[in-house]
């Protein structure tokens, strides 16, 4: 667990610790504190694809107040770690199962996991509500460990289609 309490490339705990303790020290430890961090991160950043930046840290995301799902995750992970809650970055696909279809083109998604009550739990600061249909591709300390691709120079995504459907349980498995 120790590695998921330490600062990392995008989760600059050294710059966020004082703020984290000023905001969350009086919140009940455990799930109440995680909920408060999720709510804060969700409200702090405004989602916009055009504001995506590959080098934005949690500290910068907090100050700029804009970003994409990875920025929400990096901010919430950093605040959790500052409050001694192990947190790890997750990336993959998140379809529109159980929610209204998003008119924006499908893209990769970032969320994170916290270690509470002896196990890892999935949480998402961008959406800030439970979602189903996540397809996990990678986990790590931050986006550095779980990069969708590593490219040097221009790499333009021309098309991206992922289709997900909710499967009803078969009578034999119910």
Range(s) of the domain holding residue 70? 2-140
CATH of the domain at 95: 3.10.620.30
Q: Please indicate, yes or no, if residue 41 is contained in any of the structural domains.
A: yes
Q: Number of structural domains, the chain? A: 1
For 111, the enclosing helix (H) or strand (E) is: strand 108-116
* Percent of the chain scoring above 70 in pLDDT: 97
Q: Please indicate, yes or no, if residue 21 is contained in any of the structural domains.
A: yes
Q: Where does the pLDDT of residue 38 fall: very low under 50, low under 70, confident under 90, or very high at 90 and above?
A: very high
Q: Please indicate, yes or no, if residue 157 is contained in any of the structural domains.
A: no
**Residue 172 pLDDT > 80:** no
Lowest pLDDT segment from 40-49, 60-69, 164-173: 164-173
Q: Please indicate, yes or no, if residue 123 is contained in any of the structural domains.
A: yes
Q: Please indicate, yes or no, if residue 168 is contained in any of the structural domains.
A: no
Q: Please indicate, yes or no, if residue 103 is contained in any of the structural domains.
A: yes
- Burial of residue 128 (CB within 10 Å: 0-12, 13-18, 19+) is middle
Residues 6+ apart with CB under 8 A from 102: 96
**Residue 173 pLDDT > 70:** no
**Residue 28 pLDDT > 70:** yes
**Residue 60 pLDDT > 90:** yes
**Residue 105 pLDDT > 70:** no
Q: Please indicate, yes or no, if residue 173 is contained in any of the structural domains.
A: no
Q: Please indicate, yes or no, if residue 45 is contained in any of the structural domains.
A: yes
pLDDT at site 114: 98
């Amino acid at each position: 667990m120790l590695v998921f309490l330490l600062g990392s490339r995008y989760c600059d705990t050294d710059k966020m610790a004082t703020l984290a303790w000023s905001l969350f020290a009086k919140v009940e430890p455990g799930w109440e504190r995680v909920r408060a961090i999720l709510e804060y991160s969700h409200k702090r950043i405004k989602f916009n694809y055009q504001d995506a930046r590959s080098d934005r840290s949690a500290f910068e995301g907090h100050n700029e107040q804009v970003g994409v799902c990875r920025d929400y995750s990096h901010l919430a992970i950093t605040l959790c770690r500052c409050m001694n809650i192990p947190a790890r970055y997750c990336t993959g696909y998140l379809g529109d199962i159980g929610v209204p279809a998003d008119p924006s083109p499908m893209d990769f998604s970032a969320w994170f996991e916290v270690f509470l009550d002896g196990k890892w739990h999935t949480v998402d600061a961008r959406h800030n509500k439970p979602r189903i249909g996540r397809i996990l591709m990678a986990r790590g300390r931050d986006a550095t460990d779980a990069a969708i691709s590593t490219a040097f120079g221009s790499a333009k995504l021309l098309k991206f289609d992922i289709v997900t459907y909710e499967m009803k349980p078969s009578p034999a498995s119910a």
